[in-house]
Amino acid sequence: MGLWRGIVLLLAFMIIGRGEGKLVKNFYSSSCPNVESIVQQAVSTKLSQTFTTIPATLRLFFHDCFVEGCDASIMIASPNNDAEKDAPDNLSLAGDGFDTVIKAKQAVEQACPGKVSCADILAIAARDVVVLAGGPSFNVELGRRDGLISQASLVAGNLPEPTFNLNQLNTIFAKNNLSQNDMIALSGAHTLGFSHCSRFSNRLYSFSSSSPVDPSLNSTYALQLEGECPQNVDPNIAVTLDPVTPQTFDNVYYQNLVAGKGLLTSDQVLYTDPTSQPTIVDFANNPGDFNRAFIRAMRKLGRVGVKTGNDGEIRTDCTSFNS
């Protein structure tokens, strides 16, 4: 009797576990054992063509996971321009990120047709670009399936805005089961990449009636930014988020915040708000603490809203649904 009860309980746990979308590190060990090396090769090849591969792929993963979960819904191209990627908040996603996933998927399909989801390929590629930029390596949990919904109308209100304060940041991350510590660690991805002038020009020219320049902005840095982003500048001009080591994944982003050199309001507030300041100081002084927190946060991010088991599908082409 005890044995049967044990088996019934075990089956019940397996069913429950599947329901909450359990990911595992060796998901493709029999169906596509070389998937990670295939993706890494494709990412490295793409990186040899353009550095933008790195920040673009990392940002793509984040934007995917925060809308409908990590399900490659961001990858869908719609003839009517009404897919997730067409939403205003996603128009600044660089094409090189999409291309990285598409190239990696094509390489994986040649080796293991119909086995590996675009969602998992994006998750692997996001880890690979961190490593290629000098950041920490970590195992990626796998087993996601590709989503069946991609709508521009579902994006608004689900991504953090550059003007957010600490409360607003914490609220939007908490919706995705991510803590303040996770949010601060994931913001460290701004050690790479760019932002368009329009996302922060209010800090230079129209901060308040008494002070056009945001007083939390380092004055030398403010002058440098005014040079790079004069008023009425070409909207395509972009500025590096980390002015010191823009092509290296490191903890200099946090050192910049301590020095008043956070580019976006949502960057600098992490240091000016006394609730989050101790974490910024810790990460600025201890790269190991930052790397550990970043790995933990990336794992948690990768579990957001995942489809597993019989949910979703394994897309053949990342940019279109199978049916």
Q: Are residues 130 and 57 in the same domain?
A: yes
Q: Are residues 69 and 146 in the same domain?
A: yes
Residue that finishes a domain, picked among 123, 154, 185: 154
Give the residue numbers annotated as catalytic, written as ranges.
63
Residue 275: pLDDT above 60? Answer: yes
Where do the DSSP E strands lie in 78-209?
Answer: 194-196
The answer to whether the CB of 267 falls within 8 A of the CB of 163 is: no
Annotated binding site: 64, 67, 69, 71, 73, 84, 160, 190-191, 242, 245, 250
Question: Which DSSP string do the residues of 191-221 spell out, in sequence order?
Answer: GS-EEEGGGTTHHHH-S-SS-SS-TTS-HHH
Q: How far is CA 12 from CA 8, 19, 149, 303, in A?
A: 6, 11, 29, 22
Does 312 reside within a domain? Answer: no
Residue 273: pLDDT above 60? Answer: yes
Higher pLDDT, 291 or 12: 291
Q: Are residues 208 and 260 in the same domain?
A: yes
**Whole-number average pLDDT of the chain:** 94
Residue 323: pLDDT above 90? Answer: no
CA atoms within 13 A on the CB side of 252: 15
Tell me the pLDDT band of 62, cut-offs 50, 70 and 90.
Answer: very high
The answer to whether the CB of 265 falls within 8 A of the CB of 255 is: no
Tell me the pLDDT band of 16, cut-offs 50, 70 and 90.
Answer: very low
Tell me the pLDDT band of 108, cut-offs 50, 70 and 90.
Answer: very high
The whole-model pTM stands at 0.92
Does 314 reside within a domain? Answer: no
Max intra-chain CA distance, the chain: 78
Coil, helix or strand at residue 115: coil
Q: How many residues does the chain have?
A: 323
Domain holding 182: CATH number? 1.10.420.10
Q: Are residues 135 and 183 in the same domain?
A: no
**Structural domain that includes position 227:** 166-302
Q: Are residues 145 and 214 in the same domain?
A: no
pLDDT for 52: 96
Q: Are residues 118 and 206 in the same domain?
A: no
Phi/psi region, residue 10 (left: phi>0; alpha: psi -120 to 50; beta: rest), is: alpha
Q: Are residues 174 and 294 in the same domain?
A: yes
Residue 2: pLDDT above 70? Answer: no
Domain holding 87: CATH number? 1.10.520.10
Residue 19: pLDDT above 70? Answer: no
Does 161 reside within a domain? Answer: no
Annotated binding site for Ca(2+): 64, 67, 69, 71, 73, 84, 191, 242, 245, 250
Does 62 reside within a domain? Answer: yes
Annotated binding site for heme b: 190
Q: Are residues 115 and 92 in the same domain?
A: yes
Does 123 reside within a domain? Answer: yes
> Rounded to 5 degrees, what are φ and ψ at 235?
-65, -15
pLDDT for 230: 97
pLDDT (average), residues 18-39: 88
Does 201 reside within a domain? Answer: yes
pLDDT for 1: 52
pLDDT (average), residues 247-256: 98
pLDDT for 11: 52
Does 13 reside within a domain? Answer: no
Does 159 reside within a domain? Answer: no
Structural domains in the chain (count): 2
Q: Are residues 39 and 122 in the same domain?
A: yes
Question: Which DSSP string do the residues of 236-291 spell out, in sequence order?
Answer: T-EEESSSSSTTS-SSHHHHHHHTT--SSHHHHHHHHSTTTHHHHHHHHH-HHHHH
Q: Are residues 170 and 298 in the same domain?
A: yes
Residue that finishes a domain, picked among 131, 154, 177: 154
Annotated binding site for substrate: 160
Q: Are residues 136 and 217 in the same domain?
A: no
Q: Are residues 109 and 177 in the same domain?
A: no
